[in-house]
Structure 1
């Protein structure tokens, strides 16, 4: 109580010592109305997360009149962490929970889906799939003790996605499943030779890479030439001392991209020819690792990266690409601000900035 009173008096004293119009303290106290915000593939809707004191909800607004059409929330301590439009009318949702003394909510490995008008909310994968485990109107599928995450939303397929599924067990080998986002029905399309693995698809939606960390805490990366082919080890941290992570493919699906640790500096984005195994650096920074990769909309093709070296800025593999030119124009128009293109309609007519 004494400490709380001291802090209150200290803040009051500081505010009294500063002119009232010098600091807009409300900007630092209030929560944002929206956090993540995206536009639907046809431009008919906006989807956005809305933070509350004890939860984060998802809302869908009709773009034409901003009318609220649907909401998604699991209640206290639950947070909508990620969401993606898997068709013009349906979203896939990943949730996280605030657990114990942890500062940040932790993803639960459950995947939900909901229509843009708020109808047909369903738990497609997860341990709370039985209706009595949700306490909401959300319909559950079969109860399953696994951790699932989205791999590829398959932009050309409005019905299915590729997900990674890992059992809750000590000796967990992951698999990649093609899942129907309406029924939850799944078909396994790949199995990983490493535990707790992730997967990367090419631009046709074929799983081509898998990677994971073994019991020795070292990264291994495997590649296969096509669906049904055998996995081949292409990167082993135990041999090189450096980890690599595959992140996507060029449009030809022959050149892959990997984020690779360097012995003498920050990580770089490198191009990897899956036939010749030739590696060449394509993007890097003198003092900073790539903080986030930028992808060409509705593809698995990395086109640039965000670097944080005291300020936020973007770099592109091809400085003359349409995306690079647009980024430069936006940064000039909003000088002094961080500018990010969050989503775009399929026809490219509307971009959300």
Structure 2
């Protein structure tokens, strides 16, 4: 048995032994199969109970459904508290030390928004006291007892709030959107739900709400609402329980004094993310009396925007998570800093992110470890003894020696702007004159690249490809200047940044100039197509999955299927960040893959989900019809039950086998030189 599963195996007995048997050993020198990269996790969402005595996690294995497991860390006993033959446990939270809530989904189908209508259930940590709290797609779940009359079932649009609640009773806070006749969200209500009786109380809100923020005690304290291009933040006074407007500013363009709430300290201090006249955002506190950001930052990440969360327990903020070249935690608490140092000595070569239970006397902390060549694994650490106990790994069958090393790099775009990127090289062998895949992130106004083991990147590297992942202008996380430089630059300077990265890799001697393919999903799929339009001599081929093929289609939709992009974004965000349909009409046509399809003659692999509501199938259909008139090298696949990405493992396996074959023929070992 692998050592990393020893602790869980001792605790759970035969139940979790399936984790060990997930994948067979590989032959000497053989690359891991596609299933090793794209299977569902074997262990996911491990979380300590409020006291720290119990550990809950979602456990999976080939051939069975994902189940919710609770381990008693004192007695070394484990129990599956929610396990079904027809559905998988999707997410869970601790209500208190004795009770959990969870929802379910059928992960063997891919309905698109599979987290919607996933139901809501509660169960004791020993598997008793199970109760259905919210309906699942309008159907009551069969695995519960009791008569229909003694139960209150909330509507399907009832969701867990991904924040730590009070954890001192049987109640939790859940959200329940109010929907209009077209299922468009008008406002989001917050409900205090008793997980034993099913009784609910609706929290008074200051008006329409998009998001709620709980304080350190797990009580509602802040709301945000974006409407008419402005974001309003309301604060609930703990003494009077009355709401008041705390701040208001432009949603998309920002304004002086703008901030993003991060979390509350035990004393009621509000921590926020703000720029305060600098190019990069930092962690600050906010004066709740004036609504103004305190100018002195608490955490600064030079060259990067602060974009983390508070690490806290009940009564104290211990630190804050950050991400620069790699994720880390900045500790305010000296004892936790010492704990981190002790863990890092025991687990060298990995990023070790610590999560804590809500009570200060908890005996354990949970450690989530990973690196560029190692998938996530979980360990328990006992500060009083300095002992580390392995819990389990998210994936089995991944040999770090057969993974590619990943390095953060920077290169210059043609106008001198510095572009951050990740470069992953194949394991072992030569690092020069390699076939290159330029992998473009979606969004595009997000941080695309995060150092650490990634199945897509490592799958490509294991097949002999160098992988370059640029955070082109418009990507967030690198300062306001880098972000704003990408506004209205779809297919223009953003596209040039990507091409300049490929040319940089050629100049470095890393990439073979005759064997470069561009690939991506969503916006990345759009960039892959525009790469063939703008730089036909640079890219030999392209792969687009779930990709935008025309910006106007994002605005206008189609008679057969509408996009889920909100009207607020279409009215106030897209005209500023992407392009105005009237003022920028000529630009949108010039940067439309559909309108430029006749210029694309290189081999293409196109893949779409039939129930995608972000980039509906008509994007793919219209582009396929347009490009196929001039290009006979188009491969096309539609996954009928998928949305914006592939949720079914079988579809992931199928798609990446297609990618492997496609690349092999055009830039890989089978390609003509």
Tell me if both proteins adopt one fold, taking TM over 0.5 as the criterion: yes
Q: Shift of residue 88 of structure 1?
A: 1.5
Q: What residue is the counterpart of 2:241 in the other structure?
A: 228
CA separation of 1:277 and 1:337: change in aligned 2, threshold 3 A: same
Tell me whether 1:133 sits opposite 2:104 in the alignment.
no
Aligned positions of 1:206-217 closer than 5 A: 206-214=219-227, 216=228
Q: What residue is the counterpart of 1:245 in the other structure?
A: 260
Q: Shift of residue 166 of structure 1?
A: 1.6
Tell me whether 1:177 sits opposite 2:159 in the alignment.
no
Tell me whether 1:68 sits opposite 2:81 in the alignment.
no
Q: What residue is the counterpart of 1:315 in the other structure?
A: 330
CA separation of 1:258 and 1:187: change in aligned 2, threshold 3 A: same
Check the 8 A contact 1:70/1:116 in 2, yes or no. Answer: no
In 2: Cα distance, 1:97 partner to 1:244 partner: 39
Report which of the two structures shows the higher radius of gyration computed on alpha carbons: 2
Check the 8 A contact 1:266/1:287 in 2, yes or no. Answer: yes
Q: Quick one: which of 82, 90, 97 aligns to 1:80?
A: 90
CA separation of 1:31 and 1:207: change in aligned 2, threshold 3 A: closer
Q: Shift of residue 204 of structure 1?
A: 4.1
Deviates more, 1:116-125 or 1:255-264: 255-264
Could you list the structure 1 runs, at least 4 aligned residues long, displaced by more than 6 angstroms after superposition.
Answer: none
Aligned positions of 1:92-103 closer than 5 A: 92-95=101-104, 100=110, 102=112
Q: What residue is the counterpart of 1:164 in the other structure?
A: 175
Q: What residue is the counterpart of 2:207 in the other structure?
A: 193
Deviations 1:262-286 (A, max 9, x none): 7754443221020233313322323
Q: Quick one: which of 32, 35, 49 aligns to 1:25?
A: 32
Check the 8 A contact 1:194/1:213 in 2, yes or no. Answer: no
Q: Shift of residue 205 of structure 1?
A: 4.1
In 2: Cα distance, 1:188 partner to 1:326 partner: 41
Tell me whether 1:349 sits opposite 2:363 in the alignment.
yes
TM-score, length of structure 1 as denominator length: 0.76
SS of structure 1 residue aligned to 2:266: coil
Q: Shift of residue 246 of structure 1?
A: 1.8
CA separation of 1:135 and 1:230: change in aligned 2, threshold 3 A: same
* Structure 1 or 2: more helix by fraction: 2
Check the 8 A contact 2:170/2:195 in 1, yes or no. Answer: yes
Q: Shift of residue 187 of structure 1?
A: 1.3
* Structure 2 alignment gaps of length 5 or more: 1-25, 368-673
In 1: Cα distance, 2:30 partner to 2:356 partner: 33
Q: What residue is the counterpart of 1:48 in the other structure?
A: 57
Aligned length: 324
Deviates more, 1:116-125 or 1:323-332: 323-332
SS of structure 2 residue aligned to 1:331: helix
In 2: Cα distance, 1:238 partner to 1:61 partner: 44
Q: Which has the higher contact order (CA 8 A, sep 6+)?
A: 2
Q: What residue is the counterpart of 2:320 in the other structure?
A: 304
CA separation of 1:202 and 1:40: change in aligned 2, threshold 3 A: closer
In 2: Cα distance, 1:261 partner to 1:325 partner: 31
In 2: Cα distance, 1:175 partner to 1:146 partner: 11
SS of structure 2 residue aligned to 1:283: coil
Tell me whether 1:293 sits opposite 2:303 in the alignment.
no
In 2: Cα distance, 1:160 partner to 1:85 partner: 10
Check the 8 A contact 1:69/1:117 in 2, yes or no. Answer: yes
In 1: Cα distance, 2:306 partner to 2:114 partner: 24
SS of structure 2 residue aligned to 1:211: strand
In 2: Cα distance, 1:70 partner to 1:296 partner: 29
TM-score, length of structure 2 as denominator length: 0.43
Deviations 1:179-210 (A, max 9, x none): 21211211123214234x22123334442210
